[in-house]
Structure 1
């Protein structure tokens, strides 16, 4: 902070509060450039005191928090401009200049510590345990939303927190989607396909459409354990796979294995990972449907994971270099005409000159009788 010329930072978002202070109770962590941080709690003071190592102070009004900042004689105050509501941001004005610390915190969060990695791995185990049960759930005549509901129940039973955090403003994502042909369509989310959902009010997720014999089914699920997220996709077929589905899946598998074996390692730029995936899709004849079709195409082949589902780094056209202990979801996917999709997605940690895949579910196209 001193190097950036920041006298104090106000951390208010629940995600960053949890990351820095160990509690997501409503409040503000004030981090001065020198001296001890102070945690002002607005709601559930007793619990916050148990969860955080910092000294807690009760604060009923924002004015009492800003009074403390004045006592610090701060001239430059860092705030999370990327996620703060505009009305709250305006209320933070005072005899100081506001500056953004969002990127500083995100850079810290990109590199995971040992405990964080163990939590992400536990989230990946949740996905593995649920995917084992898919053959017992998928069947001809079962609707997408029914299958998704059964699998999400299992996800909760193996310890899922119950919801996902997303960084993008206004975005939300179900813990799990089951998509059959016709449902792998664009949505408000920047994703190759998460389904049109149940209504215009909730335009993301599975639909009431019933699965038919011969349907290819794309299952995308996110584990979450003590705040940390894993993201996994596998592809199933009810009955026997059509030749065009097998061809597309083999292409996805080839791209996935090449990226995991050769591209996801320290020092490689995200743009190099993305470029290789795009080039392979083109060479294999699937450029048009790779990472979405038409308006649904997205400019990346993976994304960072941690306390949010959509963290940096993005495996797209940017020059950020992968570093040890970054966690990313690598997700080559192909959407065929008719909006049926095949894909593979794994949660991997960059380390040891390469990467380690944290989920262990089979990578083959699985035919369910």
Structure 2
């Protein structure tokens, strides 16, 4: 049988990403002889293949992809020339020695790509090798997008905008349940090419479609690391929307639903009302304020800007305008960030948060999401995905920021 890859990642992409990873390793892990990469998302980013295995990126020499399962698929999808099979971590030293790129005394590891038990197993199979965390180098490598990645993100953003602003308004109306609206969102998304799967990289985080929150569902207690609450389908699946909650005519409907195309995500929140006449003055003011914060932040998404400074500036503006109480969530739903990196995962670096002091770089991509919870009513606000440029953030998810009304 003869098969062709659905899309083979260009070798230039693999080479550029590997070179950038080595630069970060040289700064953050200068004694490491290379890095072992384990998570399938990071493996795809660096090889173009979705495999079960491990990638060895030596500081000098050609990288080697080692597959437990799926070597034939890896050989189709990856442009790499060194792809081998293995069964046990104990084989790694000999296989890499044979490949001419042996591990040294110290090795960086993508530790978030392994469970604790698998990490301990790896340590036991590599006696005499000092394993150090290489996750920070990986995160900053993925933070800056290549032109190849940006083309995918632009296409995802265009379709995201059309789905939420052109298609969905014809499918929803007050009187529908959150679950019915969630199914309509799926219909709209699938009609524009959404691939169904979305991914998060932080430990324990999951996502399925996103948040569908009508009225006070938006302030319902949530475990999700975001300002928008929701009842969800069930306590064990706090996503989608609740079949028992109906969108009422005088309530906002907040949809925070990501879009994924060819592995790359955009994030966008759109707020819907039955019609303009039902929007309370308090909600109208809060929505305008969130749009102003988005514009304020986006204009400052330039190389050299410091996320922590941007965050503190916006919090100061919110407090000085009397918007502090519900800004970025009500009560214990409040979160300590205003935006996040995005790409192959929803939750990437950098984050617009008080602890991120590393300056932005051109072609980083971030979702900005200023939102305000209003007690007894719900949540208003906005979220869109931007790319960092010398002229400020360029929006990838359209210019129709809402509110939006059913057709």
Residue 83 (structure 1) shift: 3.3
Matching residue of 1:65: 92
* Structure 1 residues 273 and 186: CA distance shift in structure 2, 3 A: farther
Whether contact under 8 Å (2:233, 2:239) holds in the other structure is yes
Comparing 322-331 with 156-165, greater Cα deviation is found at: 156-165
Matching residue of 2:14: none
Q: Does 1:102 align with 2:135?
A: yes
Q: How does 1:1-369 map to 2 (within 5 A)?
A: 3=26, 4-54=30-80, 55-69=82-96, 72=102, 74-93=104-123, 94=126, 95-131=128-164, 132-184=166-218, 185-208=220-243, 209-239=245-275, 240-261=278-299, 263-318=300-355, 319-338=357-376, 340-368=378-406
Matching residue of 2:11: none
SS at match of 1:188: coil
SS at match of 2:186: helix
* Structure 1 residues 361 and 147: CA distance shift in structure 2, 3 A: farther
> Matches of 1:46 and 1:333 in 2, distance apart?
46
Residue 157 (structure 1) shift: 2.8
> Matches of 2:325 and 2:88 in 1, distance apart?
54
Structure with bigger helix share is 2
Whether contact under 8 Å (1:260, 1:355) holds in the other structure is yes
SS at match of 2:239: coil
Whether contact under 8 Å (1:186, 1:192) holds in the other structure is no
Unaligned runs of 5+ in 1: none
* Structure 1 residues 190 and 215: CA distance shift in structure 2, 3 A: same
Whether contact under 8 Å (2:209, 2:239) holds in the other structure is no
SS at match of 1:36: coil
> Matches of 1:143 and 1:277 in 2, distance apart?
35
> Matches of 1:201 and 1:73 in 2, distance apart?
43
Matching residue of 2:9: none
Whether contact under 8 Å (1:66, 1:92) holds in the other structure is no
Unaligned runs of 5+ in 2: 1-21
Whether contact under 8 Å (2:294, 2:370) holds in the other structure is yes
Aligned residues: 368
Structure with bigger strand share is 1
Q: Return the TM-score normalized by structure 2.
A: 0.86
Whether contact under 8 Å (2:58, 2:103) holds in the other structure is no
SS at match of 1:271: helix
Whether contact under 8 Å (1:181, 1:217) holds in the other structure is yes
> Matches of 2:35 and 2:187 in 1, distance apart?
40
Residue 194 (structure 1) shift: 4.2
Residue 112 (structure 1) shift: 0.8
> Matches of 1:366 and 1:356 in 2, distance apart?
22
Residue 70 (structure 1) shift: 6.3
* Structure 1 residues 58 and 135: CA distance shift in structure 2, 3 A: same
> Matches of 1:368 and 1:34 in 2, distance apart?
58
Residue 66 (structure 1) shift: 4.5
Comparing 130-139 with 223-232, greater Cα deviation is found at: 130-139
> Matches of 1:73 and 1:364 in 2, distance apart?
54
Residue 129 (structure 1) shift: 1.8
Comparing 174-183 with 339-348, greater Cα deviation is found at: 174-183
Residue 286 (structure 1) shift: 1.2
Whether contact under 8 Å (1:29, 1:40) holds in the other structure is yes
